[in-house]
Amino acid sequence: MELRQLEHFVAVVDGGGFTAAAAHLRVAQPGVSVQVRKLEREVGQPLLERTPRGVRLTAAGEAALPHARAALAAAAAVREHVAELSGLLRGSLRVGLLLASAPEPFTGVLRAFRERAPGVELTVVEADAAALQRAVLDGSLDVAWVATGPGTPAGLTGQVLAEEEVVAVLAAGALPPRRRTTPLVDLLEHPLVCPPRGGGIRAVLEEACAAAGLVPRVAVEASSPATAVELAAGGLGAALVPASLAAGLDPARCGVLRVVRPALRARVQLVRRAGTPAAPAVREFWRLARAAG
């Protein structure tokens, strides 16, 4: 039994006759009749009854039709899967990574993608969140690993991978004695060192301040969290950075305060441009990132 026989049989049923099936399949009508007769010989029963007004299914045809459709659908799925796999064996994937972000799970996702699609050329670009978002929107990056506020930036489709606390880093001499936390209103007594507008941490800060009726005083904008920490250690203000970055700082130079009332939390998201079909490599990277998250 051949798929072509099943295809012709289903086309006759759907078209209501051999002439319509031949036109749909773009073959000569005798060829359709030949394939259907071969199928009937294979199953040992007539599947179609020829009438002056067209064709109708016999009892055997009624029984065979859903299985014929299922077989054709399975064959189409095989072709689609192989075509998608072929797409993963060539081409390129351009990935954006937030400056000074933690290496895991990003490195693990890249490793898994490389094992899955060794022929795809990988490019990793580091930048601040705002620059990465612009690059995804204009098509110069396929996906980006960014920090955002509570929502997903306009024009992008996002997949939340994690949430991380945002903490304040101050020079050792500027720390309140015996304090490990600070209310947001008290933190704003210090000049702030934080990313430019468009970055995830800046969005979190501004939304929290707006909800509390407060106005932040940003003294220095620094795209890199590591640079923000150095500026804070030098006495230029309180740097807002991810808690993971602040974990190993030298207490002789600077200290860390958790922000409370409200706590500040930023989302880590994988984003791609909304409204456009994703290439096979992008879909596979997206799947691996979701699994790792």
Q: How far is CA 104 from the centre of its chain?
A: 17
Tokens of 21: 């099936």
Distance, CA of 264 to CA of 247 (rounded, Å): 16
Beta strands in 25-91 (DSSP E): 48-51, 54-57
Radius of gyration, CA atoms only, the chain: 30
DSSP letter for each residue of 185-225: HHHTTS-EEEPPTTSHHHHHHHHHHHHHT----EEEE-SSH
With 70 as the cut, is the pLDDT of residue 204 above it? yes
Our CA dihedral for 235, 236, 239, 244, rounded to 10 degrees, sits at -40
Query: In this structure, are residues 286 and 159 in contact, taking their beta carbons and an 8 Å threshold?
Result: yes
The region of weakest confidence among 16-20, 199-203, 280-284 is: 199-203
Under the banding of pLDDT at 50, 70 and 90, the label for residue 272 is very high
3-state secondary structure of 254: strand
With 70 as the cut, is the pLDDT of residue 31 above it? yes
Residue 171 phi, psi dihedral angles, 5° rounding: -60, 150
CB atoms within 10 A of CB 96: 25
Tokens of 161: 């991978």
The pLDDT tens digits of the residues spanning 48-92 come to 998 877 788 999 989 999 899 888 888 877 776 676 666 666 678
Q: CA-CA distances (angstroms) from residue 19 to 16, 28, 52, 127, 239?
A: 9, 9, 13, 61, 76
The region of weakest confidence among 20-24, 91-95, 146-150, 178-182 is: 146-150
Between residues 289 and 103, the one the model is more confident about:
289
Distance, CA of 249 to CA of 255 (rounded, Å): 7
Under the banding of pLDDT at 50, 70 and 90, the label for residue 119 is confident
The pLDDT tens digits of the residues spanning 214-269 come to 999 999 998 888 899 999 999 999 999 988 888 788 888 999 999 999 999 888 88
Residue with tokens 């015996």: 178
What is the dihedral sign for C-alpha 242, 245, 251, 252? negative
The whole-model pTM stands at 0.59
Distance, CA of 14 to CA of 180 (rounded, Å): 73
Distance, CA of 265 to CA of 164 (rounded, Å): 5
3-state secondary structure of 105: coil
DSSP conformation class of 174: G
3-state secondary structure of 89: coil
